[in-house]
Amino acid sequence: MLNQEEKFEALVIALSEKGYAIMDYFINDDAVAQLVDCLLQHQINGTFKAAGIRKTAEQHLAPKIRGDQIVWLNAETGAVAEQAYLKLITAFQQYLNHTCYTGIIANELHYSCYHNNQFYKRHLDVFKTQTSRAYSIILYLNLNWQSADAGELVLYTKQEPNGIRIAPLAGRLVCFESADFEHEVLATTCQRYSITGWLLR
201 belongs to a structural domain: no
Phi, psi of 199 (to 5 degrees): -95, 130
In this structure, the chain runs to a length of: 201
pLDDT, position 169: 98
- Specify the CATH number for the domain of residue 119: 2.60.120.620
194 belongs to a structural domain: no
- Tell me how far apart the alpha carbons of residues 124 and 136 are, in angstroms, rounded to a whole number: 10
The domain of 30 spans: 4-51+65-189
pLDDT, position 62: 67
Total structural domains within the chain: 1
- Tell me how far apart the alpha carbons of residues 150 and 134 are, in angstroms, rounded to a whole number: 28
115 belongs to a structural domain: yes
pLDDT, position 127: 79
149 belongs to a structural domain: yes
Question: Considering only CA atoms, which of 110, 161, 103 is closest in space to residue 133?
Answer: 103
Question: Considering only CA atoms, which of 86, 84, 70 is closest in space to residue 137?
Answer: 86
pLDDT, position 58: 46
72 belongs to a structural domain: yes
pLDDT, position 1: 79
- Tell me how far apart the alpha carbons of residues 126 and 130 are, in angstroms, rounded to a whole number: 6
60 belongs to a structural domain: no
58 belongs to a structural domain: no
- Tell me how far apart the alpha carbons of residues 188 and 192 are, in angstroms, rounded to a whole number: 7
pLDDT, position 128: 73
Q: What is the pLDDT of residues 23-35, one digit of tens each?
A: 999 999 999 999 9
- 201 contacts 119 by C-beta, under 8 angstroms: no
56 belongs to a structural domain: no
- Tell me how far apart the alpha carbons of residues 25 and 28 are, in angstroms, rounded to a whole number: 6
> 25: Cβ–Cβ under 8 A, 6 or more apart, which residues?
1, 171, 172
- What's the angle, vertex CA 17, arms to CA 25 and CA 86, rounded to 5? 40
Write the DSSP string, the chain.
Answer: ---HHHHHHHHHHHHHHHSEEEETTSS-HHHHHHHHHHHHHHHHHT--EE-EES-GGG-EE-TTTB--EEEE--TTTS-HHHHHHHHHHHHHHHHHHHHH-----EEEEEEEEE-TT--EEEE-S-BTTB--EEEEEEEE-BTT--GGGB--EEE--SS-TT-EEE--BTT-EEEEETTT--EEEPPBSS-EEEEEEEEE-
pLDDT along the chain (201 residues), means of 10: 94 97 97 98 95 56 82 93 97 96 96 96 86 95 96 95 96 97 97 97 93
